[in-house]
Amino acid sequence: MATSTDDMQNDKLTYRRFEDGNQNWGGFAKKIFKEDTSHKCPTYVHRTPPCQGSCPSGEDIRGYLDIVRGIEVPPEGVSMQEYAFRRSTDANPFPSMMGRVCPAPCQDGCNRNDVDDFIGINSIEQYIGDTAFTEGFKFDNSAELTGKKVAIIGGGPAGMAAAYQLRRKGIASTIFDDHAELGGMMRYGIPGYRTPRDFLNNECQRIIDMGGIETRMNTRVGKDISVEDIEKEFDSILWALGCKSGRGLFVDSWNETPNCVSAVEFLEQFNKGDMKYTANKILCVGGGDTSIDVVSVARRIGTLKDYNENPEDSATGANAHGDVDASAKKACDSVVLTALFKQEEMTAAEHEVQDALIEGVTIMNEVMPVEIIKDANGRATALKLVDSKFENNAPVAVEGGKEYIVEADLIVSAIGQSGDLTGLEDLDNGRGLIDADNFYRVPGKDGHFVCGDIVRPHLLTTAIGQASIVSDTIEAYLSESKVNKRPKVDVHHFELVEKLEEAGLSTDKYDVAEHKEDGQRGTDTSTYAIHNYEDRSSQEIIGTDEMFLGHFEHVARHLRAVDVPSSDEVLGHFAERQASLSEEDAVAEANRCMSCGMCFECDNCVIYCPQDAVFKVKKDKHTTGRYVDTDYSRCIGCHICSDVCPTGYIDMALGDA
């Protein structure tokens, strides 16, 4: 659990979160053996940090943080900002968008939570993305096109990310989408004050500018063009439809009540610009980020002083609003959000919940809807709710609990989504979704692949991560090669061999004939191998039990400026919510990163080695991950270098006797 913002603002916070016994070694293998008889010497072991392990798209977060703060140096002629952009977008081509709206499971996983508070990864990613926009950075499109072409159905984050990853492999694609513009849920599901359209347009266009990626907009597959025709035209098909059919509340007559709508419908009409105001009393049932967007939009667009239309007409697209004079509008009298969970357990990001409260939204927690109350015309006038709790993973009414009647002119359901597979019924698994195997192939349909929310609705970054994996699967299919087993820790790993090549330090080719007679066991003087280095990043995620936390002092976070209006200011307030960090603050915040599982050149091992066995490599041989080396003839296996390594990069392993 991360330290709360209130605690972090206490300048007297100097404690460390250690428990009794943490100073003792956990197992016999980690104990210091007797002097020079252990034969255990330092081995430099690369592991995946938990920020990256928690990221559904597998970004090399530690990597781009180290670049921003100057630990990892860019190749000649490349700026820090562009190099960080390249590293970030290896996994995720939308740094501006994800830096703003991702709920950041990486920050929950951050090891720095065991010292003071997490690194502001989102804010640094936004800085990288926004700088890429202002500097005009482009994606590499040097891969020669293979002649193969993929049909991608859906132009949202999953489909766009797949087109990007495929183009990097030399595979062309055509994106089909039934909207006028690309972006999917980033454009039609999230308000523009959270995903500014100039940045979104730029990140979509940057992918199209790679070439070899065509678009067919306002085209619905299964209606405007048949699946059979697409199968004839393309070498494979990727279904990245997303989920835009909102789930209704589990109460009687939901579907028959006209002024009960889904959050997806509500937000799409607002984001298309067709809904400029809403009803006077809005009630949204949810608890996730989508529900927060609904109530935040309602507070901003308000209602008319002489409102007299059916609110569902604008919320479902039956009626489009033109421009409205601000003097004709007023704030809604009531905007209420209800959730099954306690406030601290809501799936919406904590800061989004707090922002909604500041903006004047009323939040009711641990309540469940049980009945729609209607008037004589069959229209909803209120929703009855009761106190609830969870039993057997389902909400149940609390015996003897309270009942609540919440008046509403419009009731919005934000409790989940499914796909709209009209015309594509053969793909429907019965739940409005498409089945996938572990490699994101559609079972029983050769040449068909799937990724994103249509597999299982989740985060935008989850869809982007699936797009990267499925692009590998499609490449294997098109080249008629075997699909490789995915690694246990399936992320975009830092590769020391690639870094050495970039720095002009490539290892020599190994000649079997040359070395078969020399009886060598070690590689410390050889140039065909990377001496005393082991890469376990595809198998292990490093925790703080492997690190020396005493090295790190409390450092307060460098926060983004936010524009959150009060309840009196929110009407008509559409300014961007989160400002980008300055370069100075981005570097300072990146400097809080503990570089878990990778050397960050602190010199502890060199300073504390009693035998001078650990030494810094020569400058012309130095690059990230190759900062120190060990002289095995001096090492006595005393364990000190491993003990004082803040990042857990040094293990004691068997050395040459």
| Domain shared by 319 and 353, yes or no | yes
In a domain, residue 457? The reply is yes
Residues 176 and 270 in one domain: no
Q: Report d(CA 657, CA 653) in Å as an integer.
A: 12
Q: Are residues 286 and 404 in the same domain?
A: yes
Write down which residue in 414, 446, 463 finishes a domain: 414
Q: Could you give the count of Cα atoms lying within 13 Å of 141 in the half-sphere of its Cβ?
A: 15
Kindly tell me if the per-residue pLDDT of 12 is higher than 70: no
Do 307 and 368 have their domain in common? yes
pLDDT score of 157:
98
Residue 400 sits in a domain whose CATH number is 3.50.50.60
Q: Among 441, 452, 429, 395, which residue's Cα sits nearest to residue 189?
A: 452
d(CA 597, CA 594): 9
> Where does the pLDDT of residue 159 fall: very low under 50, low under 70, confident under 90, or very high at 90 and above?
very high
Please state, in angstroms and rounded to a whole number, the distance separating the CA atoms of residues 169 and 299: 45
Smallest Cα–Cα separation from 299: which of 633, 4, 577, 13?
577
| Residues 289 and 308 both lie in one domain | yes
In one letter, which amino acid is 628?
V
Structure confidence at residue 27 (pLDDT):
61
Provide the pLDDT for residue 1.
Answer: 38
Residue 385 sits in the same domain as residue 315: yes
User: How much is the pLDDT for 14?
Assistant: 47
474 in any annotated domain: yes
Q: What is the mean pLDDT of residues 36-54?
A: 86
pLDDT the model gives residue 529: 77
Could you list the beta-strand ranges (E) of 122-244.
149-153, 172-176, 213-216, 236-239
- Residue 589 CB contacts under 8 Å (≥ 6 apart), including other chains: 119, 120, 123, 124, 557, 558, 581
**From 355-369, 524-538, 556-570, the region with the lowest mean pLDDT:** 524-538
Instruction: Give percent of the chain above pLDDT 90.
Output: 84
CA atoms of 116 and 14, how far apart (whole Å):
9
**Least confident stretch, 32-36, 145-149, 322-326:** 32-36
Average pLDDT value for the chain: 92
221 and 253 belong to one structural domain: no
Give the pair of three-digit tokens for residue 644: 């004082």
* Mean of pLDDT values over 398-411: 96
Specify the pLDDT at position 38. Answer: 57
Residue 305 and residue 378 share a domain: yes
Which of 478, 493, 519 is where one domain is finished? 478
Residue 555 lies in a domain: no
- Choose the weakest-confidence range: 1-10, 192-201, 468-477: 1-10
The structural domain count of the chain equals 2
Whether 370 is covered by a domain: the verdict is yes
For residue range 448-476, what is the model confidence (pLDDT) as tens digits? 999 999 999 999 999 999 999 999 999 99
Type of residue numbered 555: V
Which strands, in side-by-side order, build the sheet including 650-654?
533-535, 40-46, 650-654
Residue 311 lies in a domain: yes
Which band of pLDDT confidence, cut at 50, 70 and 90, is reported for residue 527? confident
Instruction: Give a yes or no: residue 137 inside a domain.
Output: no
* 225 and 340 fall within a common domain: no
What is the pLDDT at residue 434? 97
Residue 256: pLDDT over 60:
yes
Q: How much is the average pLDDT of 9-32?
A: 55
pLDDT of residue 526: 72
Mean pLDDT of the region 223-227: 96
Whether 134 maps to a domain, the answer reads: no
Structural domain range at position 290:
247-414
432 and 400: one domain?
no
Where is the domain boundary, 478, 494, 523? 478
According to DSSP, the residues that pair with 237 across neighbouring strands are 151, 448
Examine residue 331 and state whether it is found in any structural domain, yes or no: yes
| Residues 393 and 428 occupy one common structural domain | no
Q: Is pLDDT larger for residue 322 or for residue 2?
A: 322
Confidence of residue 509 (pLDDT cuts 50, 70, 90): confident
Q: Is the pLDDT of residue 639 over 90?
A: no
Span 440-446, average pLDDT: 97
CA separation, residue 90 to residues 94, 163, 193 (Å): 10, 13, 27
How much is the pLDDT for 584?
98
Per-residue pLDDT, averaged over 606-617, amounts to 94
What pLDDT does 427 receive?
A: 96
Does the structure show a pLDDT above 90 at 118?
A: yes
Q: Is pLDDT at 645 greater than 90 in this prediction?
A: yes
- The reported pLDDT for the residue numbered 29 is 55
**Which residues lie closer than 8 Å to 309 by C-beta, 6 or more apart?**
319
pLDDT of residue 597: 97
User: Among 529-538, 553-562, 641-650, which is the least confidently predicted range?
Assistant: 529-538
Instruction: Looking at the structure, tell me whether residues 311 and 231 fall in a common domain.
Output: no
**pLDDT for 72-87, tens place per residue?**
999 999 999 999 999 9
User: Taking the model in full, what pTM does it have?
Assistant: 0.91
User: For 474-504, how does the pLDDT look when each residue is reduced to its tens digit (9 = 90+)?
Assistant: 999 999 999 989 999 999 999 998 998 888 8
